[in-house]
C-alpha cells in the first residue's frame, strides 16, 4: 500500500519506519525542512534504539522517503496517517488540537482519490468527528473515511511494540474503512496481534483510559512505598506479593520518583478536561495527577533529608535525567522537579545522562552536566539515582564512595540492594525499603 504519514515526531517516524519495513511504500511529511534534510542524511531527531538502522534500511530499499511536500505525499496514498503533536494547551490542560486540524485541512485540499485518513495522534474523544467535518467542509465530494488508530508505543521499546503489539485498536464508522485498515496491518497477521474494531469515539477513549490506568498503578505503588517507609515494610515485596495476582499483574508496580514523559502527564490532564466537559468527573484520575505532581518535588526533599536536613552549599549528583531509560526525552521528567527543589534549597547540582544531556541543558541551565557518572559523583555530598539506565545498574559502588566528599546514595529506583551499597561504604537511602541487606 501507499501510505503518507504527516509528522515526523516520535510516533510518526517510528510508525513510518515500521510500516515501510512491512513492505508498504511510505512517505513521511514534515514542515520542518531542517528535520527532513537531517532524516535524508540519516540523522535521527530522537534517540530510539534501532531506529537509525531501520530507517536507513528502508530508505535504501526505496520503501521510505521524507518530504516537506504534503500534496505530493498525499497524491495517490491509500492511507494517510495524522501523527502530529497534541501537547497540553497552555493554561487549561486541554489537548492542543490545532496541529491535527491544520493537517486535516491540508490533507483534504490535496486529496486526489479514495483514501482513509487515520488519526494516529493521541486525541480526545470526538476529535475524529471534527476531522471528518473539516474534510467534508473543505472538499464535499471527497472519497475519504476518517479512522482512529491510537498508538501504544513505549519509548525505548517502540519498534518491538509496533511489530509485536499487545493489540491494534481501530475505530471506524463503516466496513470499508475497517477493511482498509485490516490491509494496512495485514503484515502482522502471522504475529497474531489482536485486532479490535470499535467505534471511532471508543477507540479515542481507549488510548486515554489505558494511560490513565497505568499512571494510576504507578501512583498507587508510590503511595504504598511511603506507607512502607512509615511502618517498616518493604515495597518491593509488597509489589511482588500483589503482582503475582494475575488480576493485578506485576508491570508498573515499581516504586520511584513519579511518572513523566510525553504521554502520561498530558493525557491524564486531557482526559480530566474531557470528563469535566462531559460532566462525568474522574475523581481517581484527579487524585493521581495531584499525587504525582507532589511526589516529584517530594523526592527533592527526600535527598535533603538524606543530607541531614542541611542542604545549602552541598553538592548533589543526579545520575539519569530522562524520564525513563533508552530515550532522550526530558518532557516532564522527575529530574526537573528534583533539580528545582534542590536548587531552591541552595544545593549545587550536577547531572549525568547517557543520551539526554543536550535535551536537559536548556531545562537545567544551572546544572553542571558530565559525560561520565564517576566524574559527576567525584566530590559530591550525595549521589541520586533518578533513571534506571543499564549503564547505572552495574556501577562500581566502591569507586563511587571513594570519590565522594560524603558517601550518601539516594536510590530512587531501588536499583541496588541496601546491603550491597552499604558494604561498598555508602549510606543507602531507597524508596519504600528498609536500609538493610536485601
Q: Please give the positions annotated as active site.
A: 263
**DSSP code, position 124:** -
User: Could you give the angle at the alpha carbon of 23 between the alpha carbons of 21 and 28, nearest 5°?
Assistant: 65
Contacts of 422 (CB under 8 A, 6+ apart): 428, 435, 437
Helix axes 200-231, 283-306, angle to 10 degrees: 40
Range list of H helices, 253-386 = 264-277, 283-306, 334-344, 357-360, 373-377
Cα distance from N-terminal residue to C-terminal residue, the chain: 54
Please check whether residue 174 is in contact with residue 203, taking contact to mean a CB–CB distance below 8 angstroms: no
Q: How many residues appear in the chain?
A: 438
**CA–CA separation, 425 vs 423, rounded Å?**
5
Contacts 24+ apart (CB under 8 A), 417-421: 421/397
Amino acid at each position: 500500500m501507499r501510505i503518507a504519514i504527516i509528522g515526523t515526531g516520535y510516533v510518526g517516524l517510528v510508525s513510518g519506519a515500521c510500516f515501510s519495513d512491512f513492505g508498504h511504500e511510505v512517505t513521511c511529511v514534515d514542515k520542518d525542512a531542517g528535520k527532513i534534510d537531517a532524516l535524508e542524511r540519516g540523522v535521527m531527531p530522537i534517540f530510539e534504539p534501532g531506529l537509525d538502522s531501520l530507517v536507513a534500511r528502508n530508505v535504501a530499499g526505496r520503501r521510505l522517503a521524507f518530504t516537506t511536500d504534503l500534496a505530493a505525499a498525499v497524491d495517490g496514498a491509500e492511507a494517510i496517517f495524522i501523527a502530529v503533536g497534541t501537547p497540553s494547551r497552555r493554561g487549561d490542560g486541554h489537548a492542543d488540537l490545532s496541529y491535527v486540524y491544520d493537517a486535516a485541512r491540508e490533507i483534504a485540499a490535496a486529496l486526489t482519490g479514495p483514501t482513509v485518513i487515520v488519526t494516529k495522534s493521541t486525541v480526545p474523544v470526538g476529535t475524529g468527528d471534527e476531522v471528518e467535518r473539516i474534510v467534508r467542509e473543505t472538499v464535499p465530494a471527497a472519497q475519504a473515511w476518517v479512522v482512529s488508530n491510537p498508538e501504544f508505543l513505549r519509548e525505548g521499546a517502540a519498534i518491538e511494540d509496533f511489530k509485536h503489539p499487545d493489540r491494534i485498536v481501530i475505530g471506524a464508522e463503516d466496513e470499508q474503512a475497517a477493511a482498509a485498515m485490516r490491509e494496512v496491518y495485514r503484515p502482522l497477521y502471522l504475529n497474531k496481534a489482536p485486532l479490535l474494531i470499535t467505534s471511532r469515539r471508543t477507540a479515542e477513549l481507549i488510548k486515554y483510559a489505558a494511560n490513565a490506568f497505568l499512571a494510576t498503578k504507578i501512583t498507587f505503588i508510590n503511595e504504598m512505598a511511603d506507607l512502607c517507609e512509615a511502618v517498616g515494610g518493604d515495597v518491593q515485596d509488597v509489589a511482588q506479593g500483589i503482582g503475582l495476582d494475575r488480576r493485578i499483574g506485576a508491570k508498573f508496580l515499581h516504586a520511584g520518583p513519579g511518572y513523566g514523559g510525553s504521554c502520561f502527564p498530558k493525557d491524564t490532564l486531557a482526559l480530566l478536561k474531557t470528563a469535566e466537559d462531559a460532566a462525568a468527573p474522574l475523581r481517581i484520575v484527579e487524585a493521581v495527577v495531584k499525587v504525582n505532581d507532589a511526589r516529584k518535588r517530594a523526592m527533592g526533599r527526600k535527598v535533603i533529608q538524606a543530607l541531614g536536613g542541611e542542604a545549602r552549599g552541598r553538592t548533589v549528583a543526579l545520575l539519569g535525567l530522562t524520564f525513563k531509560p533508552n530515550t532522550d526525552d526530558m518532557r516532564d521528567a522527575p529530574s526537573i522537579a528534583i533539580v528545582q527543589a534542590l536548587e531552591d534549597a541552595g544545593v549545587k547540582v550536577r547531572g549525568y545522562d547517557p543520551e539526554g544531556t543536550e535535551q536537559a541543558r536548556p531545562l537545567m541551565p544551572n546544572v553542571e552536566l558530565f559525560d561520565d557518572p564517576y566524574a559527576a559523583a567525584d566530590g559530591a555530598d550525595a549521589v541520586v539515582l533518578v533513571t534506571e539506565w543499564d549503564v547505572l545498574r552495574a556501577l562500581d559502588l566502591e569507586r563511587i564512595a571513594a570519590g565522594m566528599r560524603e558517601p550518601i546514595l539516594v536510590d530512587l529506583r531501588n536499583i541496588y540492594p541496601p546491603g550491597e551499597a552499604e558494604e561498598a561504604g555508602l549510606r543507602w537511602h531507597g524508596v519504600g525499603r528498609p536500609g538493610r541487606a536485601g
